[in-house]
Structure 1
C-alpha cells in the first residue's frame, strides 16, 4: 500500500461513529442482474469490440449460477467467529431485469421480469430456493436492496434502438453490455441518476416498487441500501425511509447536477433525513488483477479500520464469485477468500462476522 492510499484509508476511517467491536462485513453488488448471458455472447461482442473487453475484466460479468452459490457456501461454512457466526456476503440485489422479448414485441416499450423468472430463463431453477433455504437461513448470502433493475429505462431504450450501438447487439442476445458513453445522458447503468423532476418522480416510483418486490421475494424488508454506481440524490431519502431502510452503504455519494456528478462525502454515522451512512473501507476485488496481493492488501485495510474503531466493510463485486462466462475468476476468489478468512480469524480472534442489515441495526441502536 503506497503512502497516498494509506493516507486516504486513514482519512475515511478517523471521523464519525466508532465501536470497540471488531466487525467484518462483506458487501457485494449486482446479484440477480443480467449482464452477458453466456461465453458465446461474450465472443460475439469481442468480435465487434475486442479493445474494450480486453482492457477490463469488469465486462466479464454474468448472472450467478447455482453451482456458484454451492461452492461459496462450502467455503464460508468452514469458518466461525467468536460468537459462532459464519462469514456472510451481503448480496446487493436487483429485483427485476428487462424482459427482452416483451420489449422487442412492443416496439421497444419497457417491460421487466422478476429475478425468479430470470433464473428460470437461464435454467437455474433451483438457485432461488438454495439461496433462501441455505444462504439466508444460515446467514451466508444475505440480500439487501440495490435497485429494481440496474439501469435507467429511458436511457437504456434509446441505446438499444440504435442499430449502430453495441448495446443493440447485446440486446439481440438477451444481454446487457453497459459500455460507458462519452456523454452522461447516454450512460444507463446508474438507475438512480436524474436530469429533471420527471426523472426524480420515476426513480421514486421504481424504488418503491423495487422495495416492495424485495420484501415479496425474500420475506423481509431491506434495512440497508446501496444505489448502483453510488449515483443518487437526496430526493430519494423519504421513499427509502418510508419503506423500512435504515442506512445507506454508499457514503461516497455522486449527486447528479446538470449532467455532471458532484462528489459528496458522508462519514461514519452521518445522519440525513433519518438515514445513517457508512463507508466501504476495504477492498477484495480479485477480478482486477492476477498479480496483486488481494489478501495482504485487504488485511492492511482491515487493520486501519479497526485502529480507528470502525467496522471493516469489504467491497467485493459479484463478478468475483460467479462463473457464467469463466470459472477462473470464481475459483481464484474462493481460494483467496479462504485464505483471507483464515488470516482474519488468526489475527483478530475476537472478530464478529455480520451482514449489512445487522450493522444497520447496531448503528441505529436497535440491536
Structure 2
C-alpha cells in the first residue's frame, strides 16, 4: 500500500480520535452559505471572463449562486424520497446568511455608508427566486430543512467599503455587477478575500464584526421566528473573545472543523483544535465535521466523491461518532450552471440510498438536535456517576 493510499484510508479515522462517543448511528448534514449572493447570474459570469477575471478557475465563482426555485424543489424532492426508521427525512442544516449588500443604497451614500437588505428582499430582485422564501418555509414544515445562523452577510464589510472608497478597479467592477467582492486579475491573482466576514485588522473592526454578528442573530429570529442555537463562522474564522456575547444571544453550539482559525486583532490567525462534543468554559458544545460530500469542490468523478463520503461515514460510525457531513450550498446550485446541480443531485441520491441500505438504524438529525443529544448524554453520565 502506497503512502498516499494509506493516508487516505487513515484520515477519516484520525478525524474521529477523542471526544464524545455514542453507539447510535446519527447522521447530520451541514450546509453553509444559504441566502448569500456570490455569482449573480450566467451573464455576469461571462462578463467576468470577458473582462479578464479567471472566475472559471475558482469553484465558488464558477458555480455558487443564490439557490433558485428549481434548485430548491429538485433538492427537496431528493431529500423527501428517503426516511430513517423513525420516519424522518434526511435534513439539511441550512446555515443562513440573513442579508446581502444593498448596492443601490450604498451607491446613494457615495460609498460612505454600508447598507444591507434582508434575504427576503434579495429573493425579489432575482428572476427565478420570488417563491424561494415560501419554499424555505415549506422545507421546514416537511422536515428537510432546518435553518441555523451563518452570518449577517458573507462579506467583510470593512474591506469592502474601504476598497470602494479607494476606487479599487476590481472592486468597482464587482460592485457594478452586484458581486460581493472579487478575485483580482493579473499577477496578483488570488482568492476572493472580501467574503471572509469575521476577519478583522484593528480593534474597531473587531467591534464591528461582533456588532454585525449580534445584529444578524436578531435578524435571524425576526425572519424565522426562533433563535438560532448553533452557529458556523464564515471561512472557519472566529475569535473566542466573542463567545460570551453570542452565548447570551442564544448560541449553545458551534459547528465547524476539527481545526479552526482563531482571529487575532493584528489580522493574523492561528489554528485551534476542537473535538466533537467538547465544550468551552461557557458550556457551548463543539460539533466537528468528519465526513465530506463536496463534488463541486473536487476534481474527482462524482461517484468517487460518493464513495469517499461513505468511507468517512463508516469511519465515524466505527469510531462511535455521529457522521456530520459537510455539503456546501454550491453543490445544489444550478442557477449559473444547471449541469452542476443535476449531476450533484444524482450523486446525492446515490449517497443517501447507500446510507439507507448499509445502515438500517441510521438516525437523521439537525445540528441543534445533535447538541441536545450530546447534552442529554452528558447529564445521564453525570447522574450515573453521582449515584
> What TM-score range do you get, normalising by the shorter chain?
over 0.9
For 1:13-51, what per-residue CA distance to the aligned partner results, in whole angstroms no more than 9, with x for missing partners?
02110111101111111010011111110011112235x
Query: 1:177 Cα deviation (Å)?
Result: 4.5
Partner of 1:291: 301
Q: Alignment partner for residue 103 of structure 1, among 70, 81, 106?
A: 106
Query: 1:232 Cα deviation (Å)?
Result: 0.7
Change in CA separation of 1:353 and 1:177 when aligned onto 2, cut-off 3 Å:
same
2:269 matched to 1:269?
no
For 1:59-91, what per-residue CA distance to the aligned partner results, in whole angstroms no more than 9, with x for missing partners?
121111111111111111110001110011111
Residues 246 and 364 in structure 1, CA contact (< 8 A), matched pair in contact too: no
2:39 matched to 1:36?
yes
Change in CA separation of 1:24 and 1:49 when aligned onto 2, cut-off 3 Å:
farther
Q: TM-score with structure 1 length normalisation?
A: 0.94
For 1:292-347, what per-residue CA distance to the aligned partner results, in whole angstroms no more than 9, with x for missing partners?
51110100000001111111111111111011211111101110011100000101
SS at match of 1:313: strand
Partner of 1:255: 262
Task: For 2:94 and 2:332, locate their aligned partners in 1 and report how far apart those are by CA, in whole Å.
Answer: 11
Task: For 1:163 and 1:284, locate their aligned partners in 2 and report how far apart those are by CA, in whole Å.
Answer: 39
2:248 matched to 1:237?
no
Q: Alignment partner for residue 64 of structure 1, among 49, 63, 67?
A: 67
Change in CA separation of 1:54 and 1:36 when aligned onto 2, cut-off 3 Å:
closer
2:291 matched to 1:282?
yes
Q: Which has the larger radius of gyration?
A: 2
2:98 matched to 1:91?
no
2:167 matched to 1:159?
no
Residues 38 and 60 in structure 2, CA contact (< 8 A), matched pair in contact too: no
Name the Cα RMSD after superposition. Answer: 2.1
Q: Alignment partner for residue 125 of structure 1, among 111, 130, 133?
A: 130
May I ask how many residue pairs the two structures share in their alignment? 364
Query: 1:290 Cα deviation (Å)?
Result: 5.3
SS at match of 2:33: strand
SS at match of 2:122: helix
Residues 62 and 324 in structure 1, CA contact (< 8 A), matched pair in contact too: yes
SS at match of 1:92: strand
Task: For 1:161 and 1:179, locate their aligned partners in 2 and report how far apart those are by CA, in whole Å.
Answer: 18
Residues 180 and 187 in structure 1, CA contact (< 8 A), matched pair in contact too: no
Partner of 2:382: none
Q: TM-score with structure 2 length normalisation?
A: 0.89
For structure 1, list consecutive stretches of 5 or more residues without a partner in the other structure: none
Task: For 1:160 and 1:120, locate their aligned partners in 2 and report how far apart those are by CA, in whole Å.
Answer: 25
Aligned pairs for 1:304-315 within 5 A: 304-315=315-326
2:225 matched to 1:219?
yes
Task: For 1:290 and 1:310, locate their aligned partners in 2 and report how far apart those are by CA, in whole Å.
Answer: 26
For structure 2, list consecutive stretches of 5 or more residues without a partner in the other structure: 380-387
